[in-house]
Structures are given as structure tokens and as C-alpha cells.
Chain A
Amino acid sequence: GENVGLHLPTLSVQEGDNSIINCAYSNSASDYFIWYKQESGKGPQFIIDIRSNMDKRQGQRVTVLLNKTVKHLSLQIAATQPGDSAVYFCAETYDKVIFGPGTSLSVIP
């Protein structure tokens, strides 16, 4: 069936380095994608979104890249900070929203 998956379930990054979190999606008709951040015991927080008519979108310290050819989505976090430690998951939308299981990002001070 259609699903959204993540290449790396866990990621450890040194403070100050850049982080890249990846996501693969299987539905080529999906036209809207979102990245969420979820800290332990809290609800997911919207980070950034991108529509299928774009390849790249930048926010504050974050960039989302969309490669429709290989159905791949990535979230780049610049100058990773301890407060970035959380689970990050992507979501794809066509006629419904499908969430991936998430990648746990751990920032090493």
C-alpha cells in the first residue's frame, strides 16, 4: 500500500553541525508534504511544508527539499542545537494524510 517511510530511524549529530533527515514516499500523486517535530511527551509541532510544484523551501534554520523524480523528501537543520533533539516525521497528503514513523535526532553537546 501507499506509505511514507524514513531511511534512518535514529540520527546523532554534534552540536553546531548540520542535520539531514530523509523521507521516502510512494504515492507519486501526493501534492503536499509537511515536516513535524515532536519532543518527548508533547504533541507534534509543524516545522515547514512544501507543495509538489516546488523543489525547495527555506525557513529559519530549516530547509526542505523535494525530489519528485525519486519520491524523496529531506529536512535539513543548520547549526543543530541541543533543543533540536526530538523525533522528526514527515507527512504526505493526497486524498488523506499519511504520517511516517519518525526519526529520532539526538544532538551531542
Chain B
Amino acid sequence: DGGITQSPKYLFRKEGQNVTLSCEQNLNHDAMYWYRQDPGQGLRLIYYSQIVNDFQKGDIAEGYSVSREKKESFPLTVTSAQKNPTAFYLCASSMTSGGAQYFGPGTRLLVL
């Protein structure tokens, strides 16, 4: 079964805590992306990676960090510097940069 998975489905963060969202794909895609979705708004790009060991900031990178040590994995860390982290986080991948993006099921992050 090929696809893109995200875990956990729900994540709770305490104030001052860093949390990491997992994203894994077995589609052999080179490019991976992280988006944030807030109610009634379009997707906003946080970070993207076109190839292993390389990534670039998106439109709203402040308070987030990523790594791309393996082709199939692109974890996102929401740091304590992100003051409004409550949102639905979506990971996506594409064969190449600019190609059709396929999304995971999402992780909903809530602040305690």
C-alpha cells in the first residue's frame, strides 16, 4: 500500500514545549512539504524539501523546524517560539518539485 502517513492524528502541546509531527511516504517522491491550515483559510506553506538533506523556508517558517535525513521522512518540530500553534498540519509529497502534491491525513495540534 503506497501512500503518505502522518502521526499522531491529535497532538497536545503544553506551553513552552517543543513537539514533533511525523510524516512518512513510501511513494519514492523527491519533494516533501509541510502546510498549516486554519479554519476558513487556504493552505500556508511552512517548509519544503526538494531533495534529501536539503530544505527551504516557506511563507510561515518562524517557530518551526524540519529535517530531511531520509527520502521517505520529513518531520516537523513546532517549537516554543511558535506562539499560535493550534492548527491542522498537513504533509504532502510530490514526485518532483512543482508536480502534483499528494497529502497525508493531517495532524491536529492543540495547546493545553
**Contact between chains at A43 and B90 (CB < 8 Å):** yes
Closest chain A CB from B84 CB (angstroms) = 19
| Nearest A residue (CB) for B6 | A43
Q: Residue B104 at the A interface, CB < 8 A?
A: yes
**Contact between chains at B103 and A43 (CB < 8 Å):** yes
| Nearest B residue (CB) for A43 | B103
The A interface, classified by DSSP as helix, strand, loop or mixed, is strand
Q: B71-100 CB contact bits vs A (8 Å, 1 = yes)?
A: 000000000000000000010000000101
Q: Residue A97 at the B interface, CB < 8 A?
A: yes
15 A/B residue pairs, CB under 8 Å, sorted by A: A4-B42, A41-B108, A42-B105, A43-B105, A43-B106, A46-B100, A46-B101, A89-B42, A91-B101, A93-B98, A95-B98, A96-B45, A96-B98, A97-B101, A101-B41
| Nearest B residue (CB) for A94 | B98
> Cβ of A46: which chain B residues have Cβ within 8 Å of it?
100-103
For chain A, residues 1 to 36, give those with C-beta under 8 angstroms from any C-beta of chain B: 4, 32, 34, 36
Q: A82-107 CB contact bits vs B (8 Å, 1 = yes)?
A: 00000001010101110111100000
> Cβ of A93: which chain B residues have Cβ within 8 Å of it?
98
**Contact between chains at A100 and B98 (CB < 8 Å):** no
A residues sitting closer than 8 Å to B (CB atoms) are 4, 32, 34, 36, 41-46, 49, 89, 91, 93, 95-97, 99-102
The B interface, classified by DSSP as helix, strand, loop or mixed, is loop
B residues sitting closer than 8 Å to A (CB atoms) are 6, 40-43, 45, 90, 98, 100-106, 108
> Cβ of A4: which chain B residues have Cβ within 8 Å of it?
42
Closest chain B CB from A91 CB (angstroms) = 8
**Contact between chains at B100 and A102 (CB < 8 Å):** no
**Contact between chains at B106 and A100 (CB < 8 Å):** no
